[in-house]
Amino acid sequence: MDVSPWLRPDAATSPDRLFCHTYGRGKGNAQMIPGWPYSFVAALEPSRTSWTAPLDAVRLGPGNDLTTVTARQLRDLVDRVVAAGHHRGGAPNILVVLDAGYDVTRLAWLLADLPVDLVSRLRSDRVFRLPVPPRPPGVGLPQRVWGCGGLWLPPWLPPKIADLEKRRPPGGPGVAPGQA
| pLDDT value of position 160 | 56
- Amino acid sitting at position 172: G
User: What DSSP string runs through 10-62?
Assistant: T-TT-TT-EEEEEEEETTTEEEEEEEEEEEEEEEEPSSS---EEEEEEEE--T
Q: Are residues 71 and 150 in the same domain?
A: no
Q: Are residues 56 and 11 in the same domain?
A: yes
Strands 116-120 and 94-98, sheet pairing: parallel
Q: Are residues 150 and 99 in the same domain?
A: no
- The pLDDT tens digits of the residues spanning 13-70 come to 777 777 777 766 566 677 777 888 888 888 887 788 888 888 899 988 888 888 899 9
Q: Are residues 60 and 16 in the same domain?
A: yes
Task: Enumerate long-range contacts of 124-131, CB under 8 Å, 24 or more apart.
Answer: 124/100, 128/152, 130/159, 130/164
In a domain, 152, yes or no: yes
In a domain, 51, yes or no: yes
Boundary-marking domain end, from 75, 104, 120:
120
* C-beta separation of 174 from 140 below 8 A: yes
Cross-strand bridge partners of residue 98: 120
Q: Are residues 106 and 24 in the same domain?
A: yes
In a domain, 44, yes or no: yes
Closest by CA position to 112, among listed 138, 131, 91, 93: 93
88 — phi, psi (to 5°)? -120, 160
Question: What's the total number of domains in the chain?
Answer: 2
In a domain, 8, yes or no: yes
For residue 157, the enclosing domain spans 127-175
Cross-strand bridge partners of residue 36: 6
| pLDDT value of position 76 | 94
Residue 40, CA distances (Å) to 3, 98, 131 in order: 6, 10, 37
Q: Are residues 50 and 114 in the same domain?
A: yes
Q: Are residues 90 and 26 in the same domain?
A: yes
Q: Are residues 58 and 86 in the same domain?
A: yes
In a domain, 82, yes or no: yes
Q: Is the full-model pTM beyond 0.85? A: no
User: What DSSP string runs through 64-126?
Assistant: --HHHHHHHHHHHHHHHHHHTTSS-TTSPPEEEEE-TTS-HHHHHHHTTTSSEEEEEPPPTT-
| pLDDT value of position 61 | 84
Boundary-marking domain end, from 98, 120, 142:
120
**DSSP SS3 for 166:** helix
In a domain, 112, yes or no: yes
- The pLDDT tens digits of the residues spanning 132-166 come to 677 677 666 554 444 444 554 455 554 554 455 44
In a domain, 180, yes or no: no
